[in-house]
Amino acid sequence: MNTKIKCLLLDDELPGLTFLKMVCEQIDELEVVKAYNSPEKLLAEWEGMDFDLLITDIEMPGINGLQVADAIKGKAIIFTTAYKNFAVDAFDKDAIDYVVKPIKPERLKHAIEKVSAHMAKAEAPVKQIQLNTDKGKALISAAKIFAAVTSNIDSRDKILFLNDGVKITVKNSSFEKLLELLPENEFSRINKKAIIALKHVQFYSHDEITADLIYTDGKPYTFPLSEIYRNDFMKRVKN
């Protein structure tokens, strides 16, 4: 990335905040916009500020860092904390990274590199794929595809589910052919009859995936996760 990553810092302990700010100012890729020692003040101001990343402590009196992350939408998050047991909760908030205190400059720099990669991926050109459908040839943005399942009418056909609820019948296409057209790291085969966009995976267990999109009856989409595709799915969803 050619531009600096603009970041806000949050830590209720002033010595920790001062050290964090000093370390961040030594990282060329970063521009510290403002440092806060009050989560309440940050939440009162963040919407009017231009920034890409929040680096925040987790354990704070009153509002903690996890709650702050819930309130701030569309921004990258790096959590810092002295408590390793918060790691699972941190990644449930889609954190880019989790840095254990005392913060080491090289460890924080590695976390910033992950933010850079995340932002570069978000800025990548949208890929469009051409498919033969029941209504003729169609040019579809891969970013708009939620899932693809085998048609119940003709198993040679696949039904594309788009993010906006539209369904498109793709004629005479295998999942292997579809996956060749789609961005490699963004989709995964999950059973013999379905593939899914990984960004729409909300929860998963050893045999079921729950998506973040909802049926018209208010229930979320769920898909079986079969044993034969489980390991590959697990690798992809953790990347």
pLDDT tens digit sequence for 15-25: 999 999 999 99
pLDDT beyond 50 at 1: no
DSSP string, 165-186: S-EEEEPS--HHHHHHHS-TTT
Largest CA distance in the chain: 65
Strand 208-214's sheet: what is its strand order? 201-204, 208-214, 220-224
pLDDT tens digit sequence for 97-106: 889 999 999 9
Mean pLDDT of the chain, nearest integer = 91
Residue 125: the pLDDT is 64
Residue 217: the pLDDT is 82
Q: Which of 31, 36, 33, 35 is nearest to 5 (CA)?
A: 31
Residue 221: the pLDDT is 94
In which band, very low, low, confident or very high, does the pLDDT at 189 lie, cut at 50, 70 and 90?
very high
Amino acid found at 118: H
pLDDT beyond 50 at 57: yes
In which band, very low, low, confident or very high, does the pLDDT at 58 lie, cut at 50, 70 and 90?
very high
Strand partners, 209: 204, 223
Helix (H, G, I), strand (E, B) or coil at 149: strand
Q: What ranges make up the beta strands (E) of the chain?
A: 5-10, 30-36, 53-57, 76-81, 97-100, 128-133, 136-141, 145-150, 158-162, 167-170, 187-191, 194-197, 201-204, 208-214, 220-224
The arithmetic mean of pLDDT across residues 105-132, rounded, is 86
The arithmetic mean of pLDDT across residues 149-166, rounded, is 95
208: tokens are 């079921």
pLDDT tens digit sequence for 216-230: 788 999 999 999 999
In which band, very low, low, confident or very high, does the pLDDT at 90 lie, cut at 50, 70 and 90?
low
Domains and their CATH numbers in the chain: 5-122 (3.40.50.2300), 128-238 (2.40.50.1020)
In which band, very low, low, confident or very high, does the pLDDT at 74 lie, cut at 50, 70 and 90?
confident
Residue 119: the pLDDT is 85
Residue 87: the pLDDT is 58
CA angle 120, 121, 122 (to 5 degrees): 90
In which band, very low, low, confident or very high, does the pLDDT at 239 lie, cut at 50, 70 and 90?
low
Q: How far is CA 94 from the centre of its chain?
A: 6
The arithmetic mean of pLDDT across residues 195-207, rounded, is 94
